[in-house]
């Protein structure tokens, strides 16, 4: 996802599920009825609180790589926003992966 309207649709929608921890927050919006043929789309939010530009981009690349393996768990047409908390910059990829594995099902269950 790249458009701010898509991010807003996920973050502010009443039908979105949310699950968070000290490392990450996952927002998930289940697809509309007509979106079954559209693939799942994922966006990332890594603010300046995470670190300088190098740290933010490294964190985002690691999250993008980890989410590529997990997209198949999600329904087609779903919109997902993964927000990195400041502690995510110091976490290992294995820790981030475990958090995603724990948070994605919780966000999916919370989505209407």
What pLDDT was estimated at residue 85?
98
- Could you tell me the two tokens for 36? 């079954």
Tell me the pLDDT tens digit for each residue of 35-88: 567 889 999 999 999 999 999 999 999 999 999 999 998 988 899 999 999 999
List the single range of 1-5, 65-69, 95-99 with lowest mean pLDDT. 1-5
The whole-chain average pLDDT of the chain stands at 92
Question: Could you give the 3-state DSSP secondary structure of residue 58?
Answer: helix
Sequence-distant (≥ 6) Cβ neighbours of residue 28 within 8 angstroms: 10, 16, 17, 18, 74, 78, 79, 80, 81, 104, 107, 108, 110, 111
What pLDDT was estimated at residue 36?
67
Question: Could you give the 3-state DSSP secondary structure of residue 76?
Answer: coil
Model confidence, pTM: 0.91
């Amino acid at each position: 996802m790249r458009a701010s309207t898509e991010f807003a649709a996920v973050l502010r929608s009443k039908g979105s599920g949310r699950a968070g921890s000290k490392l990450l927050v996952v927002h998930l919006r289940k697809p509309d009825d007509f979106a079954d043929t559209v693939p799942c789309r994922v966006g990332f939010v890594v603010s300046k609180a995470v670190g300088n530009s190098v740290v933010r981009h490294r964190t985002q690349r690691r999250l993008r790589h980890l989410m590529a393996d997990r997209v198949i768990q999600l329904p087609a047409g779903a919109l997902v926003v993964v927000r990195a908390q400041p502690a995510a910059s110091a976490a290992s990829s294995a820790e981030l992966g475990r958090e995603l594995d724990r948070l994605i099902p919780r966000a999916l269950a919370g989505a209407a």
